[in-house]
Amino acid sequence: MTSYVLGRRVRAHVYKLDQYSRVVATVYVWRGLIRRDVGLQMLRAGLATVYEAKSGAEFGEGLEQKYRNAEWWAKTKKKGMWAGKKKDFESPREYKNRYGVGAGAADTGVSRK
């Protein structure tokens, strides 16, 4: 992802601050004349999961289904973290439930793994 954004114009469309004062945003990078959603690209590459909150996950207008479709595609194609066995993967939500963790990764709709 470093090479994906390094030296490029990056913009964040900020929606709000969440209850933990984290920025909720969609981050875009310009690749030539095309604006790309960085979170969506991470999902497609199997480098992220869709954020699963107990309540109130925030997604940009119309982005949640795009994100879920991209994650499904990466899983189907065994991209990135999905290349391993299911037993080798624990979602951020599963981890938080197991350890009783409150605040986690930034609520951008996408969780880094």
User: Is pLDDT above 50 for 104?
Assistant: no
Work out how many domains the chain is built from and give that number: 1
Tell me the residue range of the domain where 33 lies.
2-112
Q: What is the CATH number of the domain that holds 15?
A: 2.40.50.90
Give 20's pLDDT tier (boundaries 50, 70, 90).
confident
In the prediction, which pLDDT does 95 show? 83
Instruction: Give 60-66 contacts, CB < 8 A, sequence gap 24+.
Output: 60/13, 60/15, 60/26, 60/109, 63/26, 63/37, 63/109, 64/109, 66/37, 66/40
C-alpha 52/C-alpha 110 separation (Å) is: 9
**Cβ neighbours of residue 96 under 8 Å, at least 6 residues apart?**
102, 104
Mean pLDDT of 29-38: 90
pTM of the model: 0.76
In the prediction, which pLDDT does 105 show? 44
Q: Cβ distance 107 to 51 under 8 Å? A: yes
CA 52-72-78 angle, 5° bins = 115
CA 9-40-89 angle, 5° bins = 125
The chain-wide mean pLDDT, for the chain, equals: 83
61-74 per-position pLDDT tens digit: 788 899 999 999 99
